[in-house]
Amino acid sequence: MLGLAGAAGGLAVFGLGPPLPVAIAAMAFTGGGFLVYASASLTLVQALAPPALRGRLTAVFSLLYWGLMPIGGLLGGLAAEAFSARTTMLGAGVVLVVLGLLAAIRRPQVLTLAVSRDGLQLEGDLDGTGVVTADFGAAMIAPRTAAGRDG
């Protein structure tokens, strides 16, 4: 969610029409925020997926994430033509903030999830995720087999 907040904040600041150095910094925050959000989202998809479905769910996630970007670009272009590019950027930032807050309100347990550094344990409030927790409060994530396939 911090990545989403960084991306949303960067878009909103850029849309306000600041001086060039501030606009460049805002775009850096936007890019960095999207990078953090995308990697964290994919990490959680992989951690929450059953080992037998991990590859398939990763593919579907990637298809939706990258495959819908051209549609978003088209809609953004239409909005920029109807209003202005800066207004569209500001609107995109505001929409991201609102949707992020709605997601956090609707599923607050997502804010508690964390994957261990070794990638083998998922910690946090796993209520509603379908993941079974071990006695010590962390879910074990099954590692891939030596052949590189889900096992």
Q: Which residue has the higher pLDDT, 16 or 149?
A: 16
Give the residue-averaged pLDDT of 6-26: 93
Q: If we measure between CA atoms, which residue out of 26, 33, 62, 46 comes closest to residue 143?
A: 46
Distance of alpha carbon 54 from its chain centroid, rounded?
Answer: 17
pLDDT-based confidence at residue 117 (cuts at 50, 70, 90):
confident
How large is the average pLDDT for residues 72-93? 95
What is the average per-residue pLDDT within 108-117? 83
18-22, 94-98, 124-128, 137-141: lowest mean pLDDT where? 137-141
The predicted structure's pLDDT at residue 146: 47
Dihedral angle at the C-alpha atoms of 120, 51, 123, 100, nearest 10 degrees? 130
Residue 60 has pLDDT above 90, yes or no: yes
Q: Which residues contact 130 (CB under 8 A, 6 or more apart)?
A: 48
Residue 128 contacts residue 109 (beta carbons within 8 Å): yes
DSSP annotation of 140 reads: E
Yes or no: say if 136 and 121 are a contact pair by the CB < 8 Å rule: no
The residues facing 138 across adjacent strands are 123
Q: 4 vs 136, which has greater pLDDT?
A: 4
Give, in order, the Cα–Cα distances in Å from 116 to each of 17, 145, 147: 40, 19, 23
Contacts of 123 (CB under 8 A, 6+ apart): 113, 114, 115, 116, 137, 138, 139
CB of 6 closer than 8 Å to CB of 29: yes
Question: What integer is the mean pLDDT of 56-70?
Answer: 92
